[in-house]
Structure 1
Amino acid sequence: MGISKLTTDKVKERMDIEEVIGDYLPMKKKGQNLWANCPFHGEKTPSFSISPAKQIYKCFGCGKAGDPIQFVMDIEGIGFQEAIKHIAGRYGIEVEEDETRTPEQNEAQNERESLLIALGFARDFFVKNLQTPEGKSIGLSYFKERGFTPAIIEKFDLGYALDGWDNLLNAAKSAGFKEEILLKAGLILQKEGDATRIYDRFRNRVIFSIHNISGKPLGFGARILTKDKNQPKYINSPETPVYHKSDVLYGMFQAKKAIRDKDNCYLVEGYTDVVSLH
């Protein structure tokens, strides 16, 4: 099912381009317009113009232009319907559905929503694991050693993957998730040549949740704490239909307001570096 015309009209009536783009970019007023560095191509001199009066934007460097809906589509890498839902959520507008979408569109949208729900479940599962005896003694103690306060641990959705082959798999299946969705979300693996051998991707590691700009978990980074030459120090989520690594910057969701307010941003390499500086 698609979004009703009434919902789309409400979004278009309520949305404000300065507020929508302001969630992503620091802007400076110059004359009647606002200016920012274009998020769609690298530049040091602002050429991205936002017109509050006309409710449109245009980059004079790369040519990108449009209204707030188009901006959200471009920067989030989503379709029109999802952009409407995104903006509706920002303004607390109830989304009403209609029946105009094709079966293929419905299937793609349903899969995307299922992946995001599964990733949200995994995030909650890893976070709750910090309160288990194993999670407290290994995961929580590591975060405390790094100087992370309970507020920071909660803010960044830090967690722990229990030791074992199928803790998340079993919990997710008990909650009604299908193995197909868990595989597509990058949460479990299937042994090559053996379709019956399915197991958790993340095991016995501290978990760093990776969010999109809106705060939804798209993937995870996982650090091992034991010295095992046969295991990589970090394991990360693979590319999925909802997680495109080149489009996501770890910590941007938590930092976007400060970046906008301070007009400044520091880039660092590791997950713990981001959290520590925050």
Structure 2
Amino acid sequence: MISKESIDKVYEAIRVEEVIQDYVQLKKSGANFKGLSPFTEERTPSFMVSPVKQIWKDFSSGKGGNAIAFLMEIEHYTYPEAIRHLANKYGIEIEETAQTDEQKIATDQMESLYLVSEFAKNYFEESLWNSENGKAIGLSYFKERGFKEHTIKKFQLGYCSNQWDAMTKVALKKGYELEYLEQSGLSIVKDQDGQKKSFDRFKGRVMFPIHSNSGRVLGFGGRTLESDKKIAKYVNSPESLIYNKSKVLYGIYFAKSAIAKNDNCIIVEGYTDVIQMHQRGIENVVASSGTALTEQQIRIIQRLTSNITVLFDSDAAGIRAAIRGIDLILAQGMNVKVCIVPEGEDPDSFAKNNSKEDILAYLEEQQKDFISFKSELLLDEVKNDPIKKSNTVRAVLESIAVIPDSIKKELYIKQTAAQFELNEATLFSSLAQIEK
């Protein structure tokens, strides 16, 4: 934990106008400063900063507070993250309160993993832009996908050479310990004839760094460019002290401000879906990396918005598999809409082939609330079979049952009764049985 003395030093050093000027163009207005709100699309400045009181007030959104509250609002930092950000800005050394030996070891291990992950990210970027193979193979691949240079740099994409241990050798030479290279999953270590042999997990792959909410590198996804079907298309970092797949959303660091501003989070499946949507100017997009959303991931989104749009490709089997995980989102009180991209497309190609305006218009026109979507999807399969229809109704009711808001439940029951041409009282009775 950060010591009270360090927190006091941060509070003494910070100037609210200096912190906010990193995000908002401020102009002097009497004793105060004024600027356009970073939280709304206003045209007349109503964002006020008081250097005397060391507070800010955004009259367009009703938000306000001190410099730390501003960072927590705009960057969606936790309180400790905001304190550390400001300590770094003002050159204040953070002191930690007394820890047990076990806590010290865990903290040191985590920091070592962060450092080696940051090194690897820089190494992969350097290889992509400056090595002969990186430019010829990795950079060519990204550009063929339609990614522009500024997008490649924004997401810190890279390339790991096809040599067995090139990255590991450089890391060891620079003083990084093999223990942490192995723990992070960057290097794979095996015993051969009593000797430890190490090689690069991601050799010959283009690299996608996975960031925390605050922008630290936690792990990587690596895509092979080989056509050999025996080689896994994607390889991901294993779980570690700093990387837990179920607690991370790909792209959240780059999307969090846009999610809060748009009051909506668009969920896609893969890395390139996220990147292509961001490049098109739609930045409130993250990926669950091919898995159903977990409770921890939903909580990350919930800090920013209560609205989620799940964007599927047109693969029917994939949609049926994916909708099973959406009940978990409903159970958290979130509002869920679903949209399917046109036939033969995925979010990556859809974003690549259409303008921002056309994509947003399509989403607005085609998205449906999840209960309606699930009902229509399953109804298409039952035809006039009463047994299948009964099972379908029950599947829809099971989704309605997890919704915590009783008014929403009642409205969905009425909607479902109309869709399936059933009596509302019958559905309420069935719902009560499910909820027992």
TM (norm. structure 2) is 0.47
Larger Rg: 2
Aligned match for 1:126, one of 105, 124, 127 = 124
Unaligned runs of 5+ in 2: 20-38, 41-62, 66-71, 279-436
Q: Distance in 2 between matches of 1:98 and 1:192?
A: 39
- Residue 87 of structure 1: how far off its partner (Å): 2.0
Q: Which amino acid letter does the alignment assign opposite residue 227 of structure 1?
A: S
The percent identity for this pair of structures is 42
Kindly indicate which of the two structures has a greater share of residues assigned to helix.
Answer: 2
- Residue 98 of structure 1: how far off its partner (Å): 5.8
2:186 touches 2:202 (CA, 8 Å); kept in 1? Answer: yes
- Residue 146 of structure 1: how far off its partner (Å): 1.0
Q: Could you give the per-residue CA deviations for residues 155-192 of structure 1, whole angstroms, max 9, x where no partner exists? A: 10100010011011101001101110111111111237
Q: Distance in 2 between matches of 1:229 and 1:100?
A: 52
- SS of 1:196's partner is strand
Q: Select the structure with the greater relative contact order (CA < 8 A; seq sep ≥ 6).
A: 1
User: Which residue number corresponds to residue 164 of structure 2?
Assistant: 165
- Residue 3 of structure 1: how far off its partner (Å): 4.0
2:84 touches 2:94 (CA, 8 Å); kept in 1? Answer: no
Q: Could you give the per-residue CA deviations for residues 113-165 of structure 1, whole angstroms, max 9, x where no partner exists? A: 11000000000000001121100111000110111111111110100010011
1:210 touches 1:218 (CA, 8 Å); kept in 2? Answer: yes
1:89 aligns with 2:84: yes
1:88 touches 1:95 (CA, 8 Å); kept in 2? Answer: no
- SS of 1:257's partner is helix
2:117 touches 2:218 (CA, 8 Å); kept in 1? Answer: yes
- SS of 1:95's partner is coil
- SS of 1:207's partner is strand
Q: Pick closer, same or farther for the CA change 1:99–1:216 going to 2, 3 Å.
A: closer
Q: Equivalences for 1:34-113 in 2 at 5 Å?
A: 84=80, 86-91=81-86, 92-93=89-90, 94-97=92-95, 100-113=98-111
Q: Distance in 2 between matches of 1:141 and 1:120?
A: 24
User: Which residue number corresponds to residue 239 of structure 2?
Assistant: 239
Q: Pick closer, same or farther for the CA change 1:151–1:167 going to 2, 3 Å.
A: same
- Residue 101 of structure 1: how far off its partner (Å): 2.7
Q: Could you give the per-residue CA deviations for residues 194-236 of structure 1, whole angstroms, max 9, x where no partner exists? A: 6612211101010001000111110000011111122100000
Q: Distance in 2 between matches of 1:153 and 1:227?
A: 23
Q: Distance in 2 between matches of 1:7 and 1:99?
A: 10
User: Which residue number corresponds to residue 274 of structure 1?
Assistant: 274
1:191 aligns with 2:190: yes
Q: Distance in 1 between matches of 2:171 and 2:197?
A: 16
Q: Which amino acid letter does the alignment assign opposite residue 110 of structure 1?
A: D
1:3 touches 1:95 (CA, 8 Å); kept in 2? Answer: no
2:77 touches 2:214 (CA, 8 Å); kept in 1? Answer: no
Q: Which amino acid letter does the alignment assign opposite residue 230 of structure 1?
A: K
The ranges of structure 1 where at least 4 consecutive aligned residues each deviate by more than 6 angstroms after the TM superposition are: none
